[in-house]
Amino acid sequence: MTYHFRFTDDVDMTEVEASLVLAFFGAEALHGEAQVRLDADHTFDRDRRLCIIDSDTKAGQDVCRLFTGYLRREFTPDQYSIKRLDGQKSTSPAHVA
């Protein structure tokens, strides 16, 4: 499944990117750098204020979980949204662990 993270105009996308990098570092500690490079597909689009993470693998799931955790601590729930693209309904940041 794929998660789309969208950010409001008041969010500093440099801070979002830094959180994404930290999430990758954390996943690398768990799975190794090579495995994360192979398995944790993502897209970061600063201009569209969007980050997409594929969580079909364990490494991708961990990147997604870590990234979500960092976002919850850095931004308010109204500054971003998370949409799961697998036919399920959208989730709000308050409901994603």
Predicted pLDDT of residue 95: 42
Give the residue extent of every domain in the chain. 2-95
Considering only CA atoms, which of 55, 52, 44 is closest in space to residue 13? 44
Q: Tell me: the pLDDT tens digits for 49-64?
A: 999 999 999 999 999 9
String of DSSP letters for 1-42: -EEEEEE-TTS-HHHHHHHHHHHHHHHHHHH-HHHHHHH--E
- pTM tops 0.75: yes
For 38, residues 6+ apart whose C-beta sits below 8 A from its C-beta are 59
- Tell me 54's DSSP state: E
Provide the pLDDT for residue 86: 77
